[in-house]
Amino acid sequence: MGTLNSEFEALKRLESEFSTDLSHCDDLKALETIRIKYLGKKGAINQYFKRLAEMPVESRAEWGRELNRLKNSFQQELSAKSSALKKQQQRREFVDVSLPGYHSYVGKRHPLTQILDDIKFIFTSMGFTIEEGPEIETDYHNFEALNLPPDHPAREMHDTFYLPGGFLLRTHTSPVQIRVMEKRQPPIRMIAPGRCFRRDTPDASHSPFFHQVEGLCVDENVSFTDLKGVISAFAKKLFGPGVQIRFRPSYFPFTEPSAEYDFSCIFCEGKGCRLCKGTGWLEISGAGMVDPEVFKSVGYDAEKYSGYAFGMGVERLAMLKYQIDDIRLFYENDIRFLDQF
């Protein structure tokens, strides 16, 4: 009986060997090899059937039953595995040509970067250099050297973020004028693009940070006419040859005379529309002739040199050019917005 027991043990081992083989099998060809190994003419099950004759008579019935049970269960498992593999293969081969293709997003420059690049290109092609200054400024560079002493009422317009130690976040790009003139002698013809900060509550037209481009030209015999010529050439290059410009008297402590300049409305071409509030003109920014006080703070001879300066709001220009009606859209980085430019 001991040997008989070990025969039955062998069948158990066969059963577990079969399930291991099956679990490692992942294609139909390998499955057929397994079928032959266990159920083929010379397969394991048949080999064991042949032993039937050698069994003691009283055990033959049980041996036969056990072998038949194994044979059936192997057959069932093989056919289940076979249909599973066939399904898998079909899935792999199935391509639905009616499905929409994958959309791949191509990176784009931010609309502010695009317009800044345009502005830089236009001015460098007119001989202007590009300068940079720090966003964290001294009170001196942001205000005092620009003829805005501590108690000057025009400071109030700037809603400044003050930092400890006499520093502040620059409220405009005009301090870059001072920094460049401190370092260099005329002739100077420069623009300074950069980020500025003011304590404004965000709404459709205000943001606590925004971009300006400063312009400065200093040389002998620079006049207001030069300023008008440069602004006019810039307007036409950015918005098209039909754009007119106009200057209105205004006040800035660092320019004298000072002006605000407008472009003729690029939407209604001056006829009057919702965007220009019926006036036909779009306000752009301020400009003027450099005040002699400013030349004094950087040690330039105001008798010998004259100059003009101008500012411009980059967001405002981008909003006009791309017809964007809310400044906050620039900073939200919503891909659905950015994808349009």
Determine the Cα–Cα distance for residues 212 and 197; give it in Å rounded to an integer. Answer: 10
Determine the Cα–Cα distance for residues 163 and 145; give it in Å rounded to an integer. Answer: 19
Closest to ligand PHE by CB, 111 vs 194, is 194
Contact with ligand PHE (CB under 6 A): which of 111, 133, 288, 307? 288
Query: In angstroms, what is the minimal distance from the CB of 167 to ligand PHE?
Result: 19
Query: In angstroms, what is the minimal distance from the CB of 110 to ligand PHE?
Result: 22
Q: 237-241: which pairs have CB atoms within 8 A and are 24 or more residues apart?
A: 237/122, 238/118, 238/119, 238/122, 238/317, 238/321, 239/263, 239/266, 239/320, 239/321, 240/266
Task: Determine, following the binding rule CB under 6 A, whether residue 160 of this chain makes contact with ligand PHE.
Answer: no
* First vs last C-alpha separation in the chain: 88
Contact with ligand PHE (CB under 6 A): which of 81, 141, 170, 172? 172
Query: In angstroms, what is the minimal distance from the CB of 174 to ligand PHE?
Result: 4
* Site track for ligand PHE across 120-159, x = CB under 6 A: ----------------------------------------
Closest to ligand PHE by CB, 193 vs 286, is 286
Inter-residue contact 115 to 330 (CB < 8 Å)? no
Query: In angstroms, what is the minimal distance from the CB of 133 to ligand PHE?
Result: 13
Inter-residue contact 297 to 289 (CB < 8 Å)? no
Q: What are the backbone angles phi and psi of residue 280, rounded to the nearest 5°?
A: 85, -5
Binding residues for ligand PHE restricted to 228-287, rule: CB under 6 A: 252, 255, 285-287
Inter-residue contact 223 to 306 (CB < 8 Å)? yes
Closest to ligand PHE by CB, 258 vs 264, is 258
Closest to ligand PHE by CB, 287 vs 298, is 287
Closest to ligand PHE by CB, 122 vs 312, is 312
Non-local (6+) Cβ contacts of 244 within 8 A are 235, 263, 264, 270
Binding residues for ligand PHE restricted to 305-324, rule: CB under 6 A: 309-311
Q: How many residues sit in the footprint of ligand PHE (CB under 6 A)? A: 11
Determine the Cα–Cα distance for residues 252 and 139; give it in Å rounded to an integer. Answer: 17
| Sheet (strand 281-290) strand order | 129-130, 188-197, 209-219, 306-310, 281-290, 255-264, 245-252
Binding residues for ligand PHE restricted to 32-91, rule: CB under 6 A: none
Query: In angstroms, what is the minimal distance from the CB of 258 to ligand PHE?
Result: 6
Residues that bind ligand PHE (CB under 6 A): 172, 174, 252, 255, 285-288, 309-311
